[in-house]
Amino acid sequence: MGLVTTTEMFKKAYNGGYAIGAFNVNNMEIVQGITEAAGELNSPVILQVSKGARAYANHTYLVKLVEAAIIENPQIPIALHLDHGDSYELCKSCIDGGFTSVMIDASSKPFEENIEITRKVVEYAHAHGVVVEAELGTLAGVEDEVSVEAGKEMYTRPEEVEEFVSKTGCDSLAIAIGTSHGAYKFKPGTKPQLRFDVLEECTKRLPGFPIVLHGSSSVPQEFVEMVNQYGGNMPGAIGVPEDQLRHAAELSVCKINIDSDIRLAMTGNIRKYFAEHPDHFDPRQYLKPARQAVKDMVAHKITNVLGSAGKASEISK
Ligand code: G3H
Ligand code: 13P
Ligand code: ZN
């Protein structure tokens, strides 16, 4: 089926009460783990590349890895997306370089400025057949160089979403409803709770419009325990409960972003491998269980959280 935009994926997901997983990719093992799971489960999937990933792995390497995954999994639609583009120039470079979707994240800028830069990216992207995700509201946590303290995040203001979408022409909108980036999303001892009232208010004002959730890792405790058991130190790492993500997917959320869970799955398993095989030094030996852990984790999300298993055949191209 090959590389597609997210347009049809989101339409089907919205109407079908499920969401598409958007997983961050940085290297071959991650691309393989994600796409093998999606391929075996016949699930559409979004592979997303951050500015940091592009600096680490190089644009061409990442695009070629994704092209290889498409050849290996021809039965599923795959979108290649820029995660948290922070400038028009970065978005343009990804559009020119073969991405099918870009995010322009000007959410830390004043409302009018956010509209202006988003509209400029939309004009260029649409002229090149590429779709655009934008963001309103601020998540706590760390993304590339931008760090927002917990408690300083701002929920999306539903009264702003219609004007923002109509003035920018963006194709999907990331909103802030209590998720945050990284592995420490909620204070230990408190009950994690997303603001579904904010999501529902946004949906009422944008009927049929795809909403995106960033910071949606669940921080599986099995991986946190594995990290801590084998020499790591991640006390109090807590994520978004899976049942709340499932509920969001049944509503207007069509794209759910997951990066930290991939990092935890790999790191936990690599630490375990090193502890159990102190004499091994071939990277293939420890990257193999790490890749398998990514695959198993993604398969679990697709089946039990996103609800996108078997949906590849709904997408026409
Ligand atoms: O939203 C942030 C993503 O997890 C990407 O993280 O900027 O460290 O690659 P990164
Ligand atoms: P997590 O840190 O929860 O995995 O969020 C990833 C993300 O939002 C990427 O844009
Ligand atoms: Zn994000």
Nearest-CA residue for ligand 2 atom 9 is: 257
**What whole-number distance in Å separates Cα of residue 259 and Cα of residue 248?**
18
Task: Give pLDDT, residue 316.
Answer: 78
Residue of 224, 231, 243 lying closest to 278 (CA atoms): 231
Q: Is the CB of 260 under 6 A from ligand 2?
A: yes
Whether 83 is catalytic is: yes
Please give the distance, rounded to the nearest whole angstrom, from the Cα atom of residue 316 to the centre of ligand 1: 31
- Ligand 1 centroid distance, CA of 181 (Å): 8
Over the chain (317 residues), the average pLDDT of each successive run of 10 is 94 98 99 98 98 98 98 97 98 98 97 98 98 92 57 84 98 97 95 96 98 98 98 98 98 99 98 98 98 99 98 87
> What is the 241 CA–ligand 2 centroid distance (Å)?
14
| Helix axis angle, 28-40 to 283-300, nearest 10° | 40
Q: What is the pLDDT of residue 41?
A: 98
Strand segments (E) across the chain: 2-3, 20-24, 45-50, 77-85, 101-104, 131-136, 141-143, 146-148, 172-175, 211-213, 253-258
Pairing of strands 146-148, 141-143: antiparallel
Question: What pLDDT is recorded for position 2?
Answer: 81
Burial code (b: 16+ CB inside 10 Å, e: under 16) for 282-300 equals eeeebbebbbbbbbebbbb
Beta strand spans in 168-285 (E): 172-175, 211-213, 253-258
How large is the C-alpha radius of gyration of the chain?
Answer: 19
Strand segments (E) across 171-262: 172-175, 211-213, 253-258
Minimum CA distance residue for ligand 1 atom 2: 143
Q: Tell me if 230 sits within 8 A of 271, measured CB to CB.
A: yes
Please tell me the predicted confidence (pLDDT) of residue 138. Answer: 86
Question: What's the pLDDT at 80?
Answer: 98
Q: How far is the CA of 142 from the centre of ligand 1 (A)?
A: 8
> Which ligand has its closest atom nearest to the C-alpha of 215?
2
- The pLDDT score that the predictor gives to residue 146 is 55
User: What pLDDT, on a 0 to 100 scale, did the predictor assign at position 149?
Assistant: 60
Residue entry with tokens 């991640």: 234
Contacts of 154-158 with CB under 8 Å at 24 or more apart are 155/195, 155/198, 156/198, 156/202, 158/198, 158/201, 158/202, 158/204, 158/205
Spatial separation of the C-alpha atoms in residues 16 and 170, rounded to whole Å: 22
Residue 275 confidence (pLDDT)? 98
Q: Output the pLDDT for position 139.
A: 82
Position in ligand 1 atom list of the atom nearest CA 26: 9
Atom of ligand 2 minimally distant from the CA of 141: 2
Mutate to test the pocket of ligand 1, among 50, 82, 108 (most ligand atoms within 8 A of CB): 50
Say which of 83, 105, 171, 259 is annotated catalytic: 83
- For residue 215, the ligand 1 atom closest to its alpha carbon is 1
Q: Which residues line ligand 1 (CB under 6 A)?
A: 24, 50, 52-53, 83-84, 143-144, 181, 259
Return the ligand number nearest the Cα of 137: 3
d(CA 203, CA 255): 14
| Contact yes or no for 130/174 (Cβ under 8 A) | no
Tokens of 179: 């998720």
Nearest to 169 by CA among 115, 207, 213: 115
User: Could you tell me if the CB of 216 is within 6 A of ligand 2?
Assistant: yes
Q: pTM score, two decimals?
A: 0.96
Confidence (pLDDT) at 153: 60
Q: Check if 156 has its Cβ closer than 6 Å to any atom of ligand 2.
A: no
Distance, CA of 150 to CA of 188 (rounded, Å):
13
User: What is the model's pLDDT at position 105?
Assistant: 98
